[in-house]
Amino acid sequence: MSTRIVRKIPVRSSENAHPPASISANTIFLACNFVNKRVKRHFDGLKKIWEKILPVRVYLSDKVQGGGARDLWNDITQTIGEANLLIFDVTSFRPNVTLELGFSLALKRTDQIIICRDLTPSGKKSSNHEKWQLSDIPHLYRIEYRNFNTLDEQLLQHVERMAPVRKFYELVKEIERQHDLSNNIYISEALAALRELRDNGPIRRKKFRARLINRGVEAKTLEKLLMYFELAKPESGRNGFWKLID
């Protein structure tokens, strides 16, 4: 695997400040104006769907926790620094979203940032809408949508380019190619293992193997698939931990 570049997050020094984060290949950051309940509900739904069917982690900016205004901003910038794909809905600008977008522009590559805007913010179809006021950043990828199906299709194309998702799709194809494997069981167990590693962190070898007992899969076969497609691997030694591969 190629060497992964670690980007440092420029935050003010403080005894409560978090250490800089490395970029995580499976992390997505979503931001929108929370006053726009229509878009907010849809982003909440996208988080649930993507995390259920794909080995990705999705952060909504309003779900980032902080102990105060400064701690909250540090936590948000930490999360932005960790994210590999950042999606901003700017249907109705909000100061927080503007700050988060500006910070992302200073820190991230432009191909990691997507801006989207609902042309029917009231939920009604209309040919009249305000023109974009983003003349200073025309180089960013932008999605103008009139319905959420259009938005979802285009966003999913970007999510599917993320390395863990591409590798997972390759694993699925390999399982489907091997007719001696019970396709649905192996695919669902592979995804379940990746989700558990994502949500709970590293798992000891013994516990990882035990979770596959009586699940209708050959544990060694599934483990080899996860390693071959560079989705997860165990540390050396009997007591090593299984971890996701970034």
Please give the single-letter amino acid code of residue 162. Answer: M
pLDDT reading at 120 higher than 90:
no
Global pTM value: 0.81
Phi/psi for 85 (5° steps) reads -140, 130
Q: Tens digits of per-residue pLDDT, 124-166?
A: 555 555 555 555 666 788 999 999 999 999 999 999 999 999 9
Rounded mean pLDDT, 57-80: 76
Rounded mean pLDDT, 40-69: 84
* HEC profile of the chain: CCCCCCCCCCCCCCCCCCCCCCCCCCEEEEECCCCCHHHHHHHHHHHHHHHHHCCCEEEEHHHCCCCCHHHHHHHHHHHHHHCCEEEEECCCCCHHHHHHHHHHHHHCCHHHEEEEEECCCCCCCCCCCCCCCCCCCCCCEEEEECCHHHHHHHHHHHHCCCHHHHHHHHHHHHHHHCCCCCHHHHHHHHHHHHHHHHHHCCEEHHHHHHCCCCCCCCHHHHHHHHHHCCCEEECCCCCCEEEECC
Position 21 scores a pLDDT of 43
Position 75 scores a pLDDT of 86
Position 113 scores a pLDDT of 95
pLDDT reading at 3 higher than 50:
no
Q: Tens digits of per-residue pLDDT, 172-231?
A: 999 999 877 777 899 999 999 999 999 999 999 999 999 998 898 999 999 999 999 999
Position 123 scores a pLDDT of 55
